[in-house]
Amino acid sequence: MSGWVIESVAGGAMIGLASALLLLGSGQIAGISGVAATLTRGDAGAGAWRLLFIAGLVSAPLLYVAATGRGVGGAIELPLPLIIGAGALVGFGTRSASGCTSGHGVCGLGNLSARSLVAVALFMSTAALTVFVSRHLIGA
């Protein structure tokens, strides 16, 4: 089996385990957009775990590169305004859906949430449509 498949399965399992442990240990959902929003609002009672959670997300790829000597991801060869616009659309979608793929896809579906099922179906169908349009209609 190829290395990227093993790493992907291991990464997915670690995300699921971490989400389950956070839910069981503190009753909190590992929704990244909610964690980040709480921190950016400056909520004094946000809890140190949120800051540590975000620090872990930022430091994990750096630790991976240091441990393996291999980079993560690929180069994004798009104009900066397009990248910023895409990020704004993702942020708008996240707020509209009251959560992101980690909150709805990992935690919400695991809790059998109907709202999360609808959100994930919309996320995935929008992603598929975006890939189709960008690859087959505009040739990106």
pLDDT at 109: 87
Cβ neighbourhood burial of 70 (10 Å; 0-12, 13-18, 19+):
exposed
Tell me, yes or no, whether 124 lies in a domain: yes
Tell me, yes or no, whether 89 lies in a domain: yes
The model's pLDDT over 99-114, given as tens digits with 9 standing for 90+, comes to 888 888 888 888 889 9
Tell me, yes or no, whether 31 lies in a domain: no
pLDDT at 94: 84
Task: Report the number of secondary-structure helices (H) and strands (E) in the chain.
Answer: 7, 0
| Cα pseudo-dihedral 29, 35, 38, 40, rounded to 10 | -170
Q: Which two tokens stand for residue 60?
A: 């994990």
Tell me, yes or no, whether 130 lies in a domain: yes
pLDDT at 39: 81
Question: Could you tell me the residue range of the domain that residue 82 belongs to?
Answer: 78-140
Tell me, yes or no, whether 112 lies in a domain: yes
Query: Which parts of the chain sit beneath pLDDT 50?
Result: none
Tell me, yes or no, whether 20 lies in a domain: no
Tell me, yes or no, whether 92 lies in a domain: yes
For residue 9, the tally of other CB atoms under 10 A from its CB is: 11
Q: Total structural domains in the chain? A: 1
* CA–CA distance, 119 with 116 (Å, rounded to integer): 5
Tell me, yes or no, whether 53 lies in a domain: no
